[in-house]
Structure 1
Amino acid sequence: MESKTSYKEKKVISIGVMSELTGLSVRQIRYYEERKLLFPERSKGGNRKYSFSDVELLMEIANEMEDGVQTFDIRQKRMKKEKEQTRKKMLKGQINAQFGIRK
């Protein structure tokens, strides 16, 4: 059985392990979530679960914060990047549909 979700995207890492991997405190990680920079899933018991991609993202956020970038600016930059990626996917889909390319 083949899973379509990459191992990097599976939300399996607890906040404690995330703290150990990144060197950030649990409070810092929760703060970034509150500022809508990070979006963990929740287990049935309500525990946060993160992915390896979230680890990378959190390190990028921490580095930007160290450089003096405000959380608002980080969020704006991420939103702009996500919109651009969505636009590119839509254009690619339209081109593929126009030329009958299927994946």
Structure 2
Amino acid sequence: MAEDPSYKTRKVITIGVVSELTGLSERQIRYYEERKLVFPERSAKGNRKYSFADVELLIDIANKREEGVQTFEIRQDMLRAEKRKEKKKKRELLRGEINARFGIQKER
């Protein structure tokens, strides 16, 4: 059965549940939000909502913090990874445009 990509990214989990799942305090989770490491959505009443991907990210952040990595360094690593992902996406788009322009077909 194929995994639905939206299930991991849907922001439906409250901060209390995230705290239980990660072992982090609600204050730690809010701190990581302040440091721009995680980006919850807000409900109509202003409550934070997280996704399963956010939970995994918070666990990864907590593990790095236990190893002594500073939040600034974690943020810089996240930004570098984002840039790499963007560059890869641009290369793929350009490759597709070139292939389409010159009628190049992918071999299967």
TM norm structure 1: 0.91
Task: Give the CA RMSD over aligned residues.
Answer: 1.4
- Report the counterpart of residue 37 of structure 1 in structure 2: 37
**Corresponding residue number in structure 1 for 2:10:** 10
Q: What is the deviation of 1:6? A: 1.6
- Report what 2:91 is aligned to: 91
Which structure has more helix as a fraction of its residues?
Answer: 2
In the alignment, which residue of structure 1 is the partner of 2:73? Answer: 73
CA distance in 2, matches of 1:24, 1:79: 23
Other structure's SS at 1:36 match: coil
Cα distance between partner residues in 2 of 1:10 and 1:97: 32
| Residue of structure 2 in register with 1:24 after alignment | 24
Letter in 1 for 2:57: L
Structure 1 stretches of at least 4 aligned residues deviating more than 6 Å after TM superposition:
none
Q: Secondary structure of 1:46's partner?
A: coil
Residues in 1 aligned to 2:97 and 2:48: alpha-carbon distance in whole angstroms:
39
- From the CA coordinates, give the structure whose radius of gyration is larger: 2
Q: Which digits, 9 at most, give the CA deviation of each residue in 1:21-70, with x for residues without a partner?
A: 00100000000000000000111111100000000000000000000000
Give the counterpart letter for 1:69 in structure 2.
Answer: V
| 2:64 matched residue in structure 1 | 64
Could you list the runs of 5+ residues in structure 1 that have no partner in the other structure? none
Which whole-Å CA distance do the structure 2 matches of 1:97 and 1:40 have between them? 35
Overall identity of the aligned pairs, in %: 62
Paired residues, what number? 98
Equivalent AA in structure 2 for residue 36 of structure 1: K
3-state SS of 2:9 partner:
coil
CA distance in 2, matches of 1:86, 1:69: 25
